Chain A
């Protein structure tokens, strides 16, 4: 079956630090990959996506590259801000079937 594995949180960083949140997946077929962000008390918002191997998704300074050879889609940002504090979910979609990871909490201190 399909599955998504994310690194355990919380990830705690100082403002302007470099961020990496690891995500690996297993899937049958050719999935599309996504990162979602959930701010406290809100629903999930699509952050970025990649639909095929070697694609790079980017948004708001965040980036992730679809690596088929390592089945990974790690989320990165060069300089985090306090406002980036949230829970980040890696997800995949094969056909119409979505699968989410457990989420990684990010806490950014001033």
Chain B
């Protein structure tokens, strides 16, 4: 089966600019996650969708970050405006709705804010 697709692979922007990341999960996976992975740390959950509804966004900095999942399939994560500390790899993952089968991760988008 096709994996989780993410784009772009790399992005370099200046602080205060805006950026958007895109994710296409595995077909049929109802649950979609966005993680932020800062260098040397484990992934930190930003937001979790179940179909097109938000399950958990308690760690999403809502003053600058936003995410949507239209029609319960693809998702976009946006940062506006970006700060230097947003430099990280942004990982998208998806999983089946039922059961505990773990997650399938995309390759991530490496964001550098200068």
Q: Spot the interface stretch: B13-21, B37-45, B62-70, B71-79.
A: B37-45
Q: Report how far A89 CA is from B33 CA in the complex, Å.
A: 17
CB neighbours (8 Å) of A96 from chain B are 31, 48, 50, 55-56
Decide yes or no: A44 and B100 within 8 Å by CB, A98-B45, A100-B42, A100-B43 being known contacts: no
Q: Contact at A93–B56, with CB atoms within 8 Å? A: no
Size category of the A interface is 20 to 34
Please report the C-alpha to C-alpha distance between residue A93 and residue B43 in the assembled complex, in whole angstroms. 14
Which residues of chain B are near A46, meaning CB under 8 Å? Answer: 102-104
Q: Total contacts A to B, CB within 8 angstroms?
A: 51
In whole angstroms, how far apart are the Cα atoms of A34 and B100 in the complex?
10
Given contacts A96-B31, A98-B33, A102-B41, contact A44 B105 (CB under 8 A): yes
B interface footprint on A22-62 (CB within 8 Å = 1, 0 otherwise): 00000000001010100000111110010100000000000
Set B45, B93, B100: member contacting A51, Cβ < 8 A: B100
Known: A93-B100, A96-B31, A96-B48. A102 touches B105 (CB 8 A): no
Chain A at the B interface: SS class: strand
CA of A96 to CA of B95, assembled, Å: 9
What 1/0 mask marks residues of chain B from 44 to 56 whose CB sits below 8 Å from any chain A CB?
A: 1100101000011
- Subset of 21 A-B contacts with CB under 8 Å: A4-B42, A32-B100, A43-B4, A43-B106, A43-B108, A44-B43, A44-B93, A45-B105, A46-B104, A49-B101, A96-B31, A96-B50, A98-B33, A98-B103, A99-B45, A100-B42, A100-B43, A101-B42, A102-B40, A102-B42, A103-B41
